[in-house]
Amino acid sequence: MSEKAIQNAIMLAASQAGMTTWRNNTGQAWAGDATRLKDGSVLIRNPRPLHAGLCKGSSDLIGIRPVVVTSEMIGQTLAQFAAVEVKTPKGKLTEHQQKFLAFVESRGGLAIVARSPDDILNAI
């Protein structure tokens, strides 16, 4: 199964369990004054980099899950930030991905490496 197929199954399972997730694409592109040339290519004048996504190493999926707090907090339901790094069964985390997940967890968020829908269901 491809990482994209695993990701879609994880998002569906998370949603059915009450967690909301969004795809977090990261990368860089160029923006500026674009002109299409006769050969079909595009010339960008005054180029500037456009960075997308949270940060290098940020997880494939980000989201929130509802958490019912203790009675000392009057039983309110709060949203907990969640970072889900989707991997194939043999996929490995990069150093940046490991650091991002550790950061999220250190701040009270839910940080998960999910290789199947069962992984997300076990975490939430």
112 CB contacts (<8 Å, ≥6 apart)?
82, 83, 84, 85, 101, 119, 120, 123
pLDDT for residue 45 is more than 90: yes
The answer, as to whether pTM is greater than 0.75, is: no
- CA-based nearest residue to 28, from 2, 13, 8, 48: 48
Give 35's strand partners: 43
Instruction: Enumerate domains of the chain plus CATH numbers.
Output: 3-26+55-123 (3.40.1350.10)
pLDDT tens for 51-70 read 998 988 999 999 999 887 78
Rounded CA separation 86/52 (Å): 18
**56 in helix, strand or coil?**
coil
The reported pLDDT for the residue numbered 124 is 84
